[in-house]
Structure 1
Amino acid sequence: MIKEWLVGVGLAVLIFLGILGLNVLPIFFLVAVSVALWYVMDRRSAAPTAVREASVRPRVSFDEIGGQEHAKRELMEALDFLKYRDKIKTLGIRPLKGILLTGPPGTGKTLMAKAAATYTDSIFLSASGSEFVEMYVGVGAQRVRDLFRRARTQAKKENKDSAIIFIDEIDVLGARRGQHSHQEYDQTLNQLLTEMDGMSTTQSPLVLVMAATNRPDMLDSALLRPGRFDRQIKVDLPDKEGRLHILQIQTKDKPLADDVNLEHIAKETYGFSGAQLESLVNEAAIIALRQEKTQITQEMFRDAVDKVLMGEKTGRKPTDEELHRVAVHEIGHAIVSELMRPGTVSHITIAPRGNALGFVRQIPENDRYLYTLEQLQQQINVALAGCLAEELHYGNRSTGAQNDFMQASSLARTMVKCGLSRIGIVDEENLPDTVLDTEVRYILGQQEQATRALLQPFKQHIAEFAQSVVAEESVSGDAFRAWLQQVQQSARVDWAVPLPAGFHEANGTAVPSA
């Protein structure tokens, strides 16, 4: 109403000045520019209502989220303070104001926030941290105020006792103050802190703030103190049982063949997030559609695992010589892996995927969180085996071992920094680079000798099996183990160098000591 009144008065003044004979064109131009700027700034100030927060009624329940049993229990316990407010009043418990979900990407943090809204029958508003950051000072803070206002208004409108505000990627909004040159970042964070301080835990509707981040170390300490984000819940990568649960949920409406073993797939997919497992099942179904099959087989799941890990098959066509070298390289990895940890080779392939011309997929024996010196040495042996197999057969190495060397070097550095090397316990911050590099080279040199000793008896046999790999493009772990066992039984080769620790000679080959 005020805008229309001002526009009318301005036009009347311009007409009056024109009647008096004054040149009103410059004035008209200035007024037009002022109105345009006013309109732009007005749209900017009204932008908080345009933040893409979603006021939805999520239908996700905790039963539909697999692999996060511990996180779900901890979250549901925190939500009970919101759900059963009358009951907890008798103990004088204050409901929580904020819950922070942390963990790697794809582990289900957003799904858990939606399930929390379903569990508590709350209004659910979601927004991303980047939506609050603008170059115009004060806009982000206004958007924060508007988000909390909308949560309360929407809850009252739908007769709900509570509302959940979910802020994804809160590290954009809540990063430590003083790190940004633009004042808007700090003002927006200050407004969020003020809103959370002003939240009453007794009024109705009650507002609970949930947030997710992959980088909790970047958040401002004032945001993490009690009274704001009272709980931090770790949503980590699922273990084997968790992966099996996720696979069961994702495949419940998929036509599976009788040979599908979900437990074996769960064992193969160590380190996969929930999002990757969902993509795995979807890719297996796509492969079935591409092959015009009515059921998804175990082999399709195997190919889907390769695609999720390495990417789609590329159009690169290596020469026959390159294919043979790649096969020799991968067989070297497979031999040492099988000698170190029997039964761990899933399959060998030389089909180019992503940046790799070939690879050996291994099945971990168990989910590991701690590693001994011997286990780290074994991983270095496996990493170095590819280039050493090339050296034994061709007399030289290729550039295909670059990533293997990086992995081996990283493992050696881990050994030094964890006090597992010959120099003992070290202070990582005060460890001279020259000492670190010298010890890493020593470790890699020792493990290179040990790996060469393991591969030496197979020198004459690797080339023959490489021909089979080139012809078939992919060889299963069972077929590889059958060949390896046959070679071990027939080999009668003296060892050129001492065997690595944990191995002894038996019938001309290396056998793990009991």
Structure 2
Amino acid sequence: MRKYGKEIVIGFVPVFILFLQFAIGINMMPFILFACIAGGLLFMAKSRGHLATVGGDRKSKTSVPRQMTFEEIGGQDHAKQELREALDFLVHVEQISKFGIRPLKGILLTGPPGTGKTLLAKAAAGYTDSVYLGASGSEFVEMYVGVGASRIRDLFKEARQKAEKQGKNSAVIFIDEIDVIGGKRDGGQQREYDQTLNQLLTELDGIHTTDSPRILLIGATNRKEMLDSALLRPGRFDRHIAVDLPDKKGRAHILHLHARNKPLDGDEVNLEKIAEESYGFSGAQLESVMNEAAIYAMREDGETISQRHLSMAIDKVMMGERTDREATNEERERVALHELGHAIAAELVRPGSVSQVALLPRGGALGYVRHNPQQDKYLYTKQFLEGQIMIALGGAAAEEMFYGERSTGSRGDFDQAMSIVRSMVESGLTELGIIDASMMTPDKWAAVNGSILNDLMQDVKMLLEANRGVFLSALDVLIQEETLSGDQFRSLLQQFSTEQPLLAQ
């Protein structure tokens, strides 16, 4: 009977209303109208209540099944050390209370995408044996005013409740892309994300370091300059930790971590060499390199991953997948000479820097030269930057040598060269001396670009013209084989150098 109680009531009520209306003569229309209005108001109240409490229904990423450790994160030794020091304020409570140290309320992780900021936050929760709650800044932005602020309140409330439920003394809240809700305010207080930021500031101020469980907020952004100063001040985000791109040692560590579950050809694969060739790659890109290499090996039905698969994976991550563009013979020859111009200029300016010369369409390029930096550099001299410009102009110079004109394939090279010139001007490395770039007019930029690029174009033309025979000896090989390794190319270059000395800068 109980099972069908709802159906019985739904069927009985209309019959009872019809009986009262027609059999007894009672006018039921006012009652029906009142019931409709009351039902509509009740529905609106429930909907509004759902919006107000939507933060409590959010799918927060809590208490990861397996706690991550700092040892599982490669390439961020400085960031890990600084983060451990900050987290010790949660771990060694008695020691910090002895010195009267206030535990930190917030830690801001800044750096390029893919460098491991989220992994560091998860490792922080494992290091402190805390409950972990993860969210993205976009989850707190809604068109309804007050919803974002409500979600912030519910997030901190949820962290405390889960910590108490699991018997933890602390909880780590991680908000990725915090610049979405923490951007600079312009005075308008009616916008949704302004109210969300105000609520976040209020929650940070309300974190009492003596309370249990303690709450630690970790934010991550790659646009620190956009954050509001009220959020960055001490007492809210007390520590700002830079999570930069890994150096060569860090890249090798990351590659070894991601190679643990992959069948590498132990006799051939040299991950240190791959780390050297992947200069400027983030941790996410290095993980993608290992994954793409495994995919290449699987496509070929191979048993292991070889060095060739890893090199192909670097090219794919850097430039995109190989395309099916079919160029004419004339275009292939022009592209080959263009890329050889880059490669010869690179070897003459910086010997041993060419890793591969390829006549394969990838992404938007019909061919490319992959360079192999000898060591990571963070400071550049005028001579080094001028060498980079000469390498960039080498393709256009080679086309002029053999065809008497350039093609649209040099557009990207010129953009790169002009970007280097801009860096030289802003660093005071030109004849203009130390100058504020904002004082430069378009005419001045055109003049300095023309002066530097034209002079270096003449230098690279002379350099390539003296080695014209290298083009002729390498052109047929490149067109036929489509790729030349750095060693193959240097061998061809050395063969010609026995007949005519190579020029070097």
TM-score, normalised via structure 1 length: 0.91
Look up the equivalent residue of 1:383 and give its one-letter code: A
Question: In structure 2, what is the Cα distance between the partners aligned to 1:374 and 1:133?
Answer: 49
- Distance (Å, rounded) in 1 between the aligned partners of 2:445 and 2:397: 24
Among 246, 252, 256, the residue aligned to 2:260 = 252
Deviates more, 1:357-366 or 1:176-185: 176-185
Q: Determine helix, strand or coil for the equivalent of 2:134.
A: strand
Which residue, 351, 358, 363 being the options, matches 2:360?
Answer: 351
Aligned to 2:198: 190
Partners of 1:400 and 1:430 in 2: CA distance = 32
Matches of residues 427-466 of structure 1 in structure 2 within 5 Å? Answer: 427-466=436-475
Partners in 2 of 1:454 and 1:415 — Cα distance?
Answer: 23
CA contact (8 A) 2:17 2:28 kept: no
Give, in whole Å, the separation in 1 of the partners of 2:100 and 2:73.
32
For 2:113, the aligned partner's letter is: P
CA distance in 2, matches of 1:282, 1:331: 31
- For residue 360 of structure 2, what is the amino acid of its counterpart? A
Match of 2:151 in 1: 143
Q: Name the counterpart of 1:225.
A: 233
Pairing 1:45–2:52 present: yes
Equivalent in the alignment of 1:405: 414
User: Could you say which residue in structure 2 is the equivalent of 1:309?
Assistant: 318
- For structure 1, the 5+ residue unaligned runs are 1-10, 492-506
Q: Which moved more, 1:118-127 or 1:422-431?
A: 422-431
Secondary structure of the equivalent of 2:504? strand
Q: For 1:84-483, what aligned pairs fall within 5 Å after superposition?
A: 84-178=92-186, 183-257=191-265, 258-483=267-492
Q: TM-score, normalised to structure 2's length?
A: 0.92
1:416, 1:436 within 8 Å by CA — same for their partners in 2? no
Q: Distance in 2 between matches of 1:33 and 1:150?
A: 32
Residues 393, 459 of structure 1: 8 Å contact kept = no
- Which residue identity lines up with residue 56 of structure 1 in the other structure? S
CA distance in 2, matches of 1:282, 1:21: 71
Identity of aligned residues (%): 52
CA contact (8 A) 1:125 1:166 kept: yes
Distance 2:455 2:490 in 1: 27
1:211 corresponds to which letter in structure 2?
G
Look up the SS of the partner of 2:160 in the other structure: helix
Instruction: Give how far 1:369 is off.
Output: 0.7
User: Contact 1:267–1:363 (CA<8 Å) still a contact in 2?
Assistant: yes
In structure 2, the residue matched to 1:498 is: none
Structure 1 stretches (4+) deviating beyond 6 angstroms?
14-18
Q: How many residues align?
A: 486
What is the DSSP-based 3-state SS (H/G/I as helix, E as strand, rest coil) of the residue aligned with 2:497? helix
Aligned CA distance change for structure 1 residues 182 and 456 (closer, same or farther; 3 Å): farther
> Is the partner of 2:467 in helix, strand or coil?
helix
Q: Distance in 1 between matches of 2:469 and 2:401?
A: 9
Equivalent position SS for 2:498? helix
**In 1, Cα distance between equivalents of 2:225 and 2:499:** 57
Q: Deviations over 1:114-135 (max 9, x none)?
A: 0000001000011111111111
Q: CA deviation at 1:433?
A: 2.6
SS of the residue aligned with 1:510? Answer: coil
Q: Which amino acid aligns with 1:403?
A: G
Separation in structure 2 between the aligned mates of residue 229 and residue 61 of structure 1, nearest angstrom = 23
Cα distance in 1 for residues equivalent to 2:469 and 2:347: 18
Distance 1:182 1:194 in 2: 17
- Tell me if the contact between 1:178 and 1:186 (Cα under 8 Å) persists in the aligned partners: no
Counterparts of 1:183 and 1:259 in 2: how far apart (Å)? 59
Give the one of 488, 511, 514 matched to 2:504: 511
Amino acid at match of 1:510: L
Q: Partner of 2:67 in structure 1?
A: 59
* 1:461 shift after superposition: 4.1
CA distance in 2, matches of 1:404, 1:152: 55
* Per-residue Cα deviation, 1:413-458 (whole angstroms, up to 9, x for no partner): 2212211111212122222232222111100000000010110023
Q: In structure 2, how many angstroms separate the alpha carbons of the residues matched to 1:449 and 1:488? A: 22
CA distance in structure 1 between the aligned counterparts of 2:363 and 2:443, rounded to whole angstroms: 35
Q: Counterpart of 1:501? A: none
Moved more, 190-199 or 179-188: 179-188
Question: Offset at 1:400?
Answer: 0.6
CA contact (8 A) 1:313 1:351 kept: yes
CA drift of 1:278 comes to: 0.5
Cα distance in structure 2, aligned partners of 1:395 and 1:182: 63
Contact in 2 for aligned 1:176/1:221 (Cα 8 Å): yes
Distance 1:153 1:21 in 2: 50
Question: Aligned to 1:401, what secondary structure does the other structure show?
Answer: helix
Following the alignment from structure 1 to structure 2, what is the Cα–Cα distance between the partners of residues 310 and 234?
Answer: 27
Q: Secondary structure at the match of 1:490?
A: coil
CA RMSD of aligned residues (A): 2.1
C-alpha contact (below 8 Å) 1:328/1:463 kept by paired residues: no
Structure 1 distance, partners of 2:48, 2:226, is 32
Provide the C-alpha distance between the structure 2 equivalents of 1:465 and 1:393, rounded to a whole number of angstroms: 14
Distance (whole Å) between structure 2 residues aligned to residue 180 and residue 320 of structure 1 = 62
Aligned-residue offset at 1:141: 0.9
1:190 partner letter: N
Residue type of the partner of 1:339? Answer: L
